[in-house]
Structure formats: C-alpha cells, structure tokens
Structure 1
Amino acid sequence: MPGTVLLIAASPVGKGCLVDAASVLPVLAAVAPSVLSGTDTANVVELADPLQPQAVLTRLRAAATAPGPLTVFLTGQLQLDRRQRRPHLALARTTPATVRYTGFPWHWIREELRLRAPGSTTLLVDLHTDAETWQHLAGQPLTGGPGVALYGRVAPPPPRRATAVPTYMKSLATILRSGHRPPLAQLHQQALTRSYGEDPDSAHRDLVLAVEPRYRAGVPMPGPATAHGYAAAPAPAPMSVPVPHPASVPHPASVPAPATAPAPLSVPAPYLAAVPMPAAPPVTLPVPVPEAAPVDPHAEITAAVQSGRHAEAAVLAEQWERTALRRYGPGADEVVHWMEVRADLAMFAGDAELSCRIWLAVADARLTAGQPADATAVEAAVDRAHHQWGRIGDSARARELGFALADLRGRVPGRRQGALDDIRRNLSRLGTQVSP
C-alpha cells in the first residue's frame, strides 16, 4: 500500500521570523518519495510558507484520511496565543498579537491524527520558539497523540536579529538522500549527531523529542462485549532531554489508515471543525512501550469504514460506548470519546444530521461535566456540529437542530467571530428567525 508524505515548512514573514524553515524543502524534495515514506511508493504533498490555518488544516486532513502509512515532516516556529496560552505553528502572517487567529493550533494536529490506526503515523519535527513559548514547552512537552511516533527537537530562541537554520531536519534529509531509511530511532539519532556536530552548543539547549506510540500493532485487545470492557494502557510521559544515545527499538508495523477524506465544506472556513536544559548523563530513547500494551480498538472500526461497512463500524462504536458507560458512568471521558468516534463515523457515512446531533450531545456533556466554554474539546465539538449542520439537506431537520445549535453558540462562541450570525442567516433562509 502506498504511503503519504506531508512536507510543511512555515514561519512568519519579516522581523518575527526565527527560523528559515523553507530552506529545508529543496533538500527534502531531493529525497525519493519511497525513502521519505518507508514504503514502496508514496504520494508527497508540499506546503511552503502557508498563509492561512485552514489551508494547512485541509492538507493535513486529506493526508490523515489517506490509506497507508503517513509521515509528516514539520519545520517552523511555535508561539503561544495570548488568551489561552496554547502553542501554535506560526504561519506567514502570524504576529505575537494575532497568533490565535493566524497560527495553526498544535492541538489541531492531534485532533486530525487521533483516528489513525496505531503505528501508522510518524511526525518528525524541527521547531524553534520565542522565549515565552520555550519556557512553556520546557514544562509541557509536545505530544502527537497516543498512536503517533514523534521524533525531533525544539530549539530555544536564536540570538537577537539572527535567523536560525533547521539543522536537524536538513541533517535528516541529507541522511535519507543516500537512499536508505534506517529505523526511526536510529534515523533520529543520526540526525541529532550530524546537526549537533555543526552546532555543538545546541546539544545542551534543545528539547529532544522521541516518543513511540502508546498502542502497539498486532497485540489482541478484548472486544467490547467482554466483562471488563476497554482498558487502555497508560500513556508514557513525553521525553524532553539532552542528546540521547542510540536506541534499538523497532517501529510498530504499519496498519491501514482511515477512509477517504470527507466532502468539501459547505459552511465558512472558520467553522471547520524554558530554561535551557543542563548537560546530563546519556539516556536511552525512545520511551519503551510495555509488552502488554493493547491495540487501539479503532483499527477494527477503521477497517470497516475502509471497506464501506459504515453500519458495522457504527455498531462497534456503540458497543464500546455502552461498555464505557457501564464501567465509568455518564459523562466520563471514555464515554464522551466514543460519542466523538460515532460522530465522526456518521460524517464518513454521509449522515450529517446524526453527526450534528452527536456533536451537540458531546458539547453538552462536556459543559455539564464542568469544562469551560473556551476549552479546546468543547469548542471543537461545537465547531464540528456547526460544520455538519451546514450539510443537512432536509429543511425541517435543519431548522430543528439550528435552534439547538444557536443556543449552544450563545454559550460557546468559538475562536472566530460571526458564528452565531452565520446560524441566524441560515435559519432565516430556512424560513424562520432566532430571537436575539
């Protein structure tokens, strides 16, 4: 099965630029697609200095829903938004004051990759930060999600009026140009060794990321009908340490990815849904995966969706939700998670009405559980409900759900202005009005 490779290089234009991200693209483009992906054949998509977050989201979503292994090479700089202090990938128009609206939120990456089969996704990063973001990440390292292998480095700010060079990613690309793709842990170590040979001081400053997926491929997991239900292994903590020694840990076998990408949106784009590290003794990376770690049950559901068996996939998700409900009780994170899976499955099956209803229920469940209206998961649920509502073809059903969505939008306005106005305009076209 062919793989997919996504090359992203992003940094602001002008004095806010901390790293010459785009300089790495010619080196990566010189590598054979099959070597970049580690598969016999691969499709390569390049995104250079993107202007809009939605452009990045569209490419990432398409790559995440393509069949086969996915490898993302991400070079750029991270900045915190001032309101919620979440890391964003700075894009061409990003400034410190506009990060929330012009940057690409890191949690969107986790969201788009969360339904991929475990062991099928690799995220390789070379990221630079400003001083504020550097301190934030030193205490809260980046993660790619439970099924994603994450390798790379996060660098502190370069000297004043200097622009950093993505030496880790260039070193990685230079190694791959030989035509040989070693195991990920070995490739990561070789890239670190080469890049730190050019800049020895950075070896004691950078945050080095080397995290294997929480779930392993090929280990049976109890089905949803078992007495004990779903019992996922605890997630290992991401590692942020000085330069590691090589580690010999095999990368999980590739497994099928989710179904094809959903149809284009029919609503406006906004509604889609440190202190420098001291020297330390050598350590072994990546984080070891427990031998008994179970397979993420999404793999069976993914296979059903890929084969067009949407009803079967929905039944499996419902069984897992009932199991979680019996074990953890209403409103538990495990229950809400399976509600979210069901909402996505309804979207893949083309049932916009059902998907909208479930996303509305997810948002309500999270708010009832005490999560704030500006919490990432709450905003995401409402955004997805809004998106699916715009795709409902039956006017009567759209009017019914429109009132519930408008009420919810009044409590959860989301990241972009005008969301509630959009609902009112659409309801007006459907022949009704929403009271102010």
Structure 2
Amino acid sequence: MPGTVLLLAASPVGKGCLVDAASVLPVLAAVPPAVLAGTDTANVVELADPLEPQAVLTRLRAAAAAGGPLTVFVTGQLQLDRRQHLPHLALARTTPSTVRYTGFPWHWFREELRLRAAGTTTVVVDLHADAEAWGWLRGHALECGPTVGVYGRVAPPPGRRTVAAPTYMKAVATVLRSGGRPEIEQLHQMALGRIAGEGEVGDLVLGGVAAVGFAPAAPALPVPRGSAASTPPGAAAPRPPLSALNGPRPQTPDGLGRAGQGVGKTTPATGVTDPHTAISTAVQAGRHADADALAARLEQAAAASHGGGSEEALHWAEVRADLAMFAGDAERSCRTWMAVAAARLAAGQAVDAPAVEAAVDRAHHQWGRIADVVRARELGPALAELRSRVPGRRQGALDHVQRQLRQLQLQA
C-alpha cells in the first residue's frame, strides 16, 4: 500500500521569526517520496509557510484519512496562546497576541492523527520554541497521542536578532539522501549524532510515543521512555478510523484503562474482548447498527457506574457520535456532539475548554452535512445557541451558523 508524506514548514513573517523553516523544504523535496515514506510508493504533500490554520487542518485531515503509513515532517516554531497557554505551531501571520487565532494548535495534530491505526503514523519535528513555550515544555510532553510516534528535537529560543536553521531536519534529509531508509529510531539517532557534531546541545529531544527528555551534551544517547504526557483534547472534525477507539481510553466498568490497558479482558457489560477493537471491526465490515448497539451498552454501563456526565460515559457518547458519522447519519452525529457539549458545560467545564470546543466544532461540522433541509432547520437554533456560548477558535463561526440558518428558513 502506498504511503503518504506531509511536509509542513511554517514560521512567522518579520521580526517574530525564530527559524528559517522553509529552507528545509528543498532539501526534503530532493529525497525520493518512497524513501521519505519508507514504502514502495508514496504521495507527498508540501505546505510552505501557510497563512491560515484551517488550510493546514484541511491538508492534515486529508493525509490522516489516507490508507497506508503516514509520515508528517514538521519544521517551525512553537508559541503559547495567552488565553489557555497551549502550544501552537506559529504560521506566517502569527504574532504573540494573535496566536490563538492565527497559529495551528498542537493538539489538532493529536485530534487528527489519533484517528489512525496504531503503528501507522510517525511525526518528525524540528521546532524552535519562544521563551514562554520553552518554559511550558519543561513541565509538559509534546506528543500526538498514544498511537503516534514523535521523533525530533525542540530547540530553545535563539539569540536576539538571530534566525536559527532547522539543522535536525536537514540532517534527517541528508541521511535519507545518502541512500536507504533506516528505521525511524535509527534515523533519529543518526540525525542527532550529526547535529551533536556541530555543537548543538541542550535541546529537548523527542523519541517515541509521548517520550521526551532534555538531551545531555551528547544528544545521540537514548531518550528516556515513558514520560508523562499532557493530552488536551482538540477541536477538529473527526475522520476514520474511529477517534475514540484509538485515542486515550478512560477507565470503564469493564476494566479497560487509558491507552489500551486491559486489552484482552472480557467486558462484563458486553461479553466481548476489547470492545474498541470489536466496534472498529464492525464498522469496517459495514455493520454500523451492531457497532452502535455495543457502544450504547458500554455508555449505559459507564453512566450507571460513574454518572451520565462522567468522562467514562462521555467517552462512549463520543464514540457513538463518530459511529453516526461513519454510518452517514449526520443529523444523529450532530445531535450527539451537541449533547456531549451540553453535558460538559453542565459539569462546569469552561466554554473555551478544548473538549467543549471540540464537541461544538464537530456538531457544527456535521450540521453542515445534513441533507434534509427540514432536519437541518430544526437543529439550527439549538446549534446557534450553543455557538453563542462556545464561539470556538475560528472567527465568524456563530455568524456562519446564523447565516446558514437564515438560508434554510427561506427554503420551502
């Protein structure tokens, strides 16, 4: 099966630029696509200094939906938004005061890539952090979910009036151009060895799934494994395979733990081994009703044990929202995402909490796909009310709902 490669290089224009990110693209582009992907054939998508986060999201979502292995090469700089203090990949128009709206939230990588099967996705990064993001990284892991390998380095801010070079990513490209495609861990260590020889030390090194550590004087040493991960939910519309099936799994009555702990145990509520796998298998076979019925039983069991507004119950509600989407029932998916958002708000979660924003964004996304005008018109006011409380990160989202609703009301 052919692989997919996404080359993303982004940095702000002007004095806010910390790294010449785009300079790495010609070097990476000189590597044969199959070598970049580690497959016999591959499709390559290149994004150079994109302006809008939604444009990046669209390309990332398309890459994540493709079959076969996916490798994402990300070069650029990290900045924190001043409201939620979450890391963003700075884009061409990003400034310290506009990061929330002009940068690409890092947890969107997680949201899109967590939908993929375990072991099929690798993210290779060469990032420079501003001072605030560098401080944040000392207490948090930069990762893309429990099923995605992240390799690379994050460098501290360069000196004043200095624009750094993406030396790690150029080293990766140099290794790949020399012939052959080593395994990702070996490729990572070889690249670190090259930049260590150039005197670059003290970077934050990433190697594996949610594994981070500050590199010693010789960055090519093995990176510590098993570091704690910060896993804020994101706000992007889902794509197959099931997001909640491959993402972190909350403790449920069946004994399944986060990140797949307990796999292999039989679930008392359903009598099946690992319901996430069973549901995914049913969807792939087109048995959407069976998949939803199983998820519904798990949701009911979680609600009985932990309460209807618990993370355990909401996990299965989110699975059912995804299942409705895969079954082509946009209306049911929209209603379920709206119910999830309402439950989170009722539980006291903030209107700008990533999980709340994610639920409303997905409800909005599915509402736009309801073909039945009457059904869409019926749901519109409730979505508009929800949007007025949760405007989300995309400016004009509420205006879009109101405008679309007016158009629907004019239709017979």
TM-score normalised by the chain length of structure 1: 0.78
Aligned to 1:405: 383
The 8 Å contact of residues 116 and 240 in structure 2, kept in 1 or not, is answered as no
Choose from 331, 335, 360 the match for 1:357: 335
1:431 aligns with 2:409: yes
When residues 98 and 86 of structure 1 are mapped into structure 2, their CA distance, relative to the original with a 3 A threshold, is: same
1:133 aligns with 2:106: no
Q: State the one-letter code of the partner of 2:212.
A: M
Q: How does 1:90-109 map to 2 (within 5 A)?
A: 90-109=90-109
**Structure 1 residues 127-136 or 333-342, which shifts more?**
333-342
CA deviation map 1:272-323 (0-9, x unaligned): xxxxxxxxxxxxxxxxxx9987488655544544454444443443344345
When residues 27 and 294 of structure 1 are mapped into structure 2, their CA distance, relative to the original with a 3 A threshold, is: farther
Q: Whole-Å Cα distance in 1 between the matches of residues 301 and 187 of structure 2?
A: 41
CA deviation map 1:308-357 (0-9, x unaligned): 44444434433443454455432222321222222223223321101100
- The alpha carbon displacement at 1:365 in A equals 1.6
When residues 45 and 92 of structure 1 are mapped into structure 2, their CA distance, relative to the original with a 3 A threshold, is: same
Q: State the one-letter code of the partner of 2:123.
A: L
Q: Whole-Å Cα distance in 1 between the matches of residues 2 and 278 of structure 2?
A: 20
- The alpha carbon displacement at 1:247 in A equals 7.6
- The alpha carbon displacement at 1:376 in A equals 0.7
Q: Whole-Å Cα distance in 2 between the matches of residues 76 and 320 of structure 1?
A: 42
- The alpha carbon displacement at 1:410 in A equals 2.5
When residues 2 and 316 of structure 1 are mapped into structure 2, their CA distance, relative to the original with a 3 A threshold, is: farther
CA deviation map 1:187-243 (0-9, x unaligned): 211110111212x1x31x21111233xxxxxxxxxxxxxxxxxxxxxxxx6422212
Q: Whole-Å Cα distance in 2 between the matches of residues 64 and 298 of structure 1?
A: 20
1:211 aligns with 2:187: no
Q: Whole-Å Cα distance in 2 between the matches of residues 122 and 365 of structure 1?
A: 34
1:164 aligns with 2:164: yes
Aligned to 2:346: 368
Higher relative contact order (CA 8 A, sep 6+): 1
Aligned to 1:56: 56
Choose from 190, 212, 217 the match for 1:239: 212
Secondary structure at the counterpart of residue 213 of structure 2: coil
- The alpha carbon displacement at 1:19 in A equals 0.6
Unaligned runs of 5+ in 2: 226-238, 243-258, 265-273
1:28 aligns with 2:28: yes
**Structure 1 residues 103-112 or 303-312, which shifts more?**
303-312
**Structure 1 residues 37-46 or 61-70, which shifts more?**
37-46
Unaligned runs of 5+ in 1: 213-236, 250-257, 262-289
Q: State the one-letter code of the partner of 1:27.
A: V
When residues 181 and 302 of structure 1 are mapped into structure 2, their CA distance, relative to the original with a 3 A threshold, is: farther
- The alpha carbon displacement at 1:74 in A equals 0.6
Secondary structure at the counterpart of residue 74 of structure 1: strand
Aligned to 1:341: 319
Q: Whole-Å Cα distance in 2 between the matches of residues 176 and 63 of structure 1?
A: 22
- The alpha carbon displacement at 1:77 in A equals 0.5
Secondary structure at the counterpart of residue 431 of structure 1: helix
The 8 Å contact of residues 37 and 69 in structure 2, kept in 1 or not, is answered as yes
The 8 Å contact of residues 67 and 259 in structure 1, kept in 2 or not, is answered as no
Secondary structure at the counterpart of residue 209 of structure 1: strand
CA deviation map 1:133-170 (0-9, x unaligned): 11111222211111111111110111111111111111
Q: How does 1:150-189 map to 2 (within 5 A)?
A: 150-189=150-189
When residues 188 and 299 of structure 1 are mapped into structure 2, their CA distance, relative to the original with a 3 A threshold, is: farther
Q: Whole-Å Cα distance in 1 between the matches of residues 193 and 262 of structure 2?
A: 31
1:387 aligns with 2:384: no
The 8 Å contact of residues 66 and 260 in structure 1, kept in 2 or not, is answered as no
Q: Whole-Å Cα distance in 1 between the matches of residues 181 and 9 of structure 2?
A: 21
- The alpha carbon displacement at 1:421 in A equals 3.0
TM-score normalised by the chain length of structure 2: 0.82
Q: Whole-Å Cα distance in 1 between the matches of residues 220 and 335 of structure 2?
A: 48
Question: Could you tell me the percent identity over the aligned residues?
Answer: 69
Secondary structure at the counterpart of residue 179 of structure 1: coil
When residues 49 and 389 of structure 1 are mapped into structure 2, their CA distance, relative to the original with a 3 A threshold, is: same
**Structure 1 residues 302-311 or 151-160, which shifts more?**
302-311
When residues 416 and 47 of structure 1 are mapped into structure 2, their CA distance, relative to the original with a 3 A threshold, is: closer
- The alpha carbon displacement at 1:60 in A equals 0.3
Q: Whole-Å Cα distance in 2 between the matches of residues 33 and 209 of structure 1?
A: 24
Q: Whole-Å Cα distance in 1 between the matches of residues 261 and 213 of structure 2?
A: 25
- Figure out how many residues of one structure are paired with residues of the other and give that number: 369
The 8 Å contact of residues 31 and 179 in structure 1, kept in 2 or not, is answered as no
**Structure 1 residues 122-131 or 385-394, which shifts more?**
385-394
Q: Whole-Å Cα distance in 1 between the matches of residues 262 and 185 of structure 2?
A: 19
When residues 42 and 323 of structure 1 are mapped into structure 2, their CA distance, relative to the original with a 3 A threshold, is: farther
CA deviation map 1:354-397 (0-9, x unaligned): 11001001101211222111101101111111121122222332
Q: State the one-letter code of the partner of 2:203.
A: D
When residues 77 and 48 of structure 1 are mapped into structure 2, their CA distance, relative to the original with a 3 A threshold, is: same
